[in-house]
Amino acid sequence: MITKVQGDILLSKAQAIAHGIAPFDHFNQGLALTLRENYPSMAKDFRHYCHQYNPKAGGAWLWAGPEKIIINLMTQEAALDMKSNPGKASIKNVNHALKELRSIIEKEGITSIALPKIATGVGGLSWDDVEPLIEDNLGDLKISIMIYDTYQKGKQAKECFLKAA
């Protein structure tokens, strides 16, 4: 069940948060920066993961912290060099990353997830192009999916959770 909510995604009661980044991302812009500030070990672990596995755009990487699972969707192209900002997101990368997200949700038994309007901020895509991809890839899952379509700092969203079967 996909619902749209307004509020601060960092205050979400969902089991996991998914967001868009690039391979080798520095987590220095947008939601990624806020997540790095709140979960510095996630950014450090991601750098280590990238150096070990050299991930490509279109993938996803799960980080399980003490309070929250964060799924990093590699929707953007990697930076040309370590000093540059990442490239823009593409529909192809978003679609592949959402397929990876679905696989992670099913494998890990995740029951609820919160995501922003992925790839539309720093990634530069139109929500009108991204939203149908979320519906197509995740819409039939029997979990609670909250899309934070309006950011309101410090405000708890009115999230809807499915009751356990």
The tens digit of pLDDT for each residue in 92-120 reads 999 999 999 999 999 999 999 999 999 99
Would you state the pLDDT for residue 79?
Answer: 84
Spatial separation of the C-alpha atoms in residues 19 and 115, rounded to whole Å? 6
Spatial separation of the C-alpha atoms in residues 32 and 130, rounded to whole Å? 18
Would you state the pLDDT for residue 48?
Answer: 96
Q: Do residues 112 and 146 touch, judged by C-beta distance below 8 A?
A: yes
pLDDT classification of 164: cutoffs 50, 70, 90: low
Would you state the pLDDT for residue 8?
Answer: 96
Tokens of 43: 């950014």
Spatial separation of the C-alpha atoms in residues 51 and 54, rounded to whole Å? 6
pTM: 0.93
Q: Looking at domain 2-151, which CATH architecture does it have?
A: 3-Layer(aba) Sandwich (3.40)
Would you state the pLDDT for residue 34?
Answer: 93
Domain positions in the chain: 2-151
Spatial separation of the C-alpha atoms in residues 64 and 131, rounded to whole Å? 26
Mean pLDDT of 34-38: 94
1: Cα separation from own chain's centroid:
17
